[in-house]
């Protein structure tokens, strides 16, 4: 709950109109980045202007040592209920927004839609080994939301990812298993086969459809890789 109160404090800067000038020093930039991060945490409540006024009033009364109109501890359960309700509403909104996007994507030329709901489009055919659901894959990828906002990119990091296909979400396990080394494909993943209703807040909202461009660089058999990583000579017992 301490984290929540910090988030509220940051949000109130905007409400009170007490914005300082743009950050210049490294410390100022770090605190500015903290504010950006915490404001994303507050977004779960999707507060109206009226609701923000009550948050402001509570902070003002507490800071001024006034008698509180509502005790914080007595209202924590209600606050949790509100958070859950707002999150559920946001999840349903994400799913509704995704419907026309998914319908349009499924009609594009060269697209395959599988029984799970995965929408798969080959961008470049691979000529190497085909990935299996039990393999470890080496990939470059870019992940975006349906509005094009990028949330993850191994390309931007400049470092390919190595992932056991048996331990990623179902869309990736299925989609990458359809690829061959050297190939590149687009995977459109409805929330049901991605991060589901929970999402990965604040980066990925609950109910979000995800879009990935994946380039398959290499595949390794998981059992073989495990054996190769084991010590060739076991230490003798003393």
Per DSSP, 131 falls in state P
pLDDT on residue 131: 92
Residue showing tokens 């349009």 = 104
Global confidence as pTM? 0.73
Question: Distance (Å, rounded) from C-alpha 223 to C-alpha 134?
Answer: 9
Dist. CA 95–CA 110, nearest whole Å = 25
CA angle 80, 83, 84 (to 5 degrees): 90
Q: Per the omega criterion (within 30 degrees of 0), is the bond before 202 cis?
A: yes
How far is the CA of 224 from the CAs of 134, 145, 230, in angstroms? 11, 35, 10
- What backbone torsions phi and psi does residue 71 show, to the nearest 5 degrees? -75, 130
Give 224's pLDDT tier (boundaries 50, 70, 90).
Answer: low
Reported as a single tens digit per residue, the pLDDT across 168-207 is 999 999 999 999 999 999 999 999 999 999 998 878 999 9
Q: Is 148 left (phi over 0), alpha (psi -120 to 50) or beta?
A: left
| Nearest one of 138, 219, 153, 215 to 184, comparing CA atoms | 215
Is the pLDDT confidence value at 1 over 50? Answer: no
98: number of Cβ within 10 Å: 20
Kindly report the average pLDDT of the chain as a whole number.
84
- Give residue limits of the domains in the chain: 2-66, 99-225
Q: Give SS3 for 149.
A: coil
Alpha-helical regions (H) of the chain: 2-16, 26-42, 49-63, 76-106, 154-157, 170-176, 222-229
The CATH code of the domain at 99-225 is 3.10.50.40
pLDDT in tens, 6-16: 445 544 444 44
By the 8 A CB rule, do 223 and 215 touch? no
Most confident of 18-32, 49-63, 183-197: 183-197
């Amino acid at each position: 709950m301490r984290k929540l109160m910090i988030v509220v404090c940051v949000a109130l800067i905007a409400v009170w109109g007490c914005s300082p000038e743009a950050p210049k020093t490294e410390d100022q930039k770090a605190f500015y980045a903290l504010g950006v991060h915490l404001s994303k945490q507050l977004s779960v409540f999707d507060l109206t202007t009226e609701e923000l006024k009550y948050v402001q009033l509570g902070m003002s009364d507490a800071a001024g040592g006034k008698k509180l109109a509502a005790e914080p501890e007595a209202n924590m359960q209600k606050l949790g209920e509100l958070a859950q309700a707002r999150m559920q509403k946001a999840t349903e909104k994400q799913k509704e927004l995704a419907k026309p996007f998914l319908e349009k994507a499924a009609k594009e030329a060269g697209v395959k839609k599988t029984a799970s709901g995965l929408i798969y489009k080959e961008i470049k055919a691979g000529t190497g080994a085909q990935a299996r659901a039990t393999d470890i894959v080496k990939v470059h990828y870019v992940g975006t939301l349906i509005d094009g906002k990028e949330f993850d990119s191994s390309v931007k990091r400049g470092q390919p990812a190595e992932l056991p296909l048996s331990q990623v979400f179902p869309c990736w396990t299925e989609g990458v298993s359809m690829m061959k080394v050297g190939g590149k494909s687009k995977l459109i993943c409805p929330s049901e086969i991605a991060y589901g209703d929970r999402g990965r807040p604040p980066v990925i909202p609950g109910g979000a459809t995800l879009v990935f461009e994946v380039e398959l660089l290499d595949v390794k058999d998981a059992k073989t890789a495990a054996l190769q990583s084991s010590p060739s000579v076991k230490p003798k017992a003393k």
